[in-house]
Structure 1
Amino acid sequence: MDQDEISQRVARLRQEHRDLDMAIDAMGSAPTIDQLVMARIKKRKLRLRDEIAALEDQLIPDIIA
């Protein structure tokens, strides 16, 4: 992937991460919470965060000190 593709992928992943945040907030305000669904959403959010971090590392050039 080139720089532009990585940047676009990071933007899509960030949007999905925000969407999951909103879903978690909505579920938290519901009278009954499905704990299994909540746990899956949170796991997905963590995987997204890790993938975003890995892609951002690819965008930063290595600097030899």
Structure 2
Amino acid sequence: MASHASTSHVNALQSKHAGLEAKLRDELARPAPDTAMIQALKKQKLKLKEEIARC
């Protein structure tokens, strides 16, 4: 049962990570990307990646 819960948790984290990746791509595609937004998105992605690695 615990492995199913952790699998769901990892899947949720991976979905969030993918969403952040899409936002990052959109921001980078803009004519004048917001560097503060890019840094914040990258930081959030890294935190999620680290959390996924711990699971």
Q: Structure 1 length normalisation: TM-score?
A: 0.79
More helix by share: 2
Distance 1:36 1:29 in 2: 15
Residues 8-65 of structure 1 show CA distances to partners (whole Å, capped at 9, x for unaligned) of 000000011111111111111101111111101000000000000000xxxxxxxxxx
Runs of at least 5 residues in structure 2 that lack an aligned partner in the other structure:
none
Post-superposition shift, 1:2?
1.3
**Structure 2 counterpart of 1:58:** none
Runs of at least 5 residues in structure 1 that lack an aligned partner in the other structure:
56-65
Identity among equivalent positions (%) equals 27
**Structure 2 counterpart of 1:49:** 49
**Structure 2 counterpart of 1:7:** 7
Distance 1:43 1:28 in 2: 15
What is the number of equivalent residue pairs in this alignment? 55
Distance 1:41 1:22 in 2: 10
**Structure 1 counterpart of 2:35:** 35
Say what the alpha-carbon RMSD is for the aligned residues.
Answer: 1.3
Could you list the runs of 4 or more consecutive aligned residues of structure 1 that deviate by over 4 angstroms after TM superposition? Answer: none
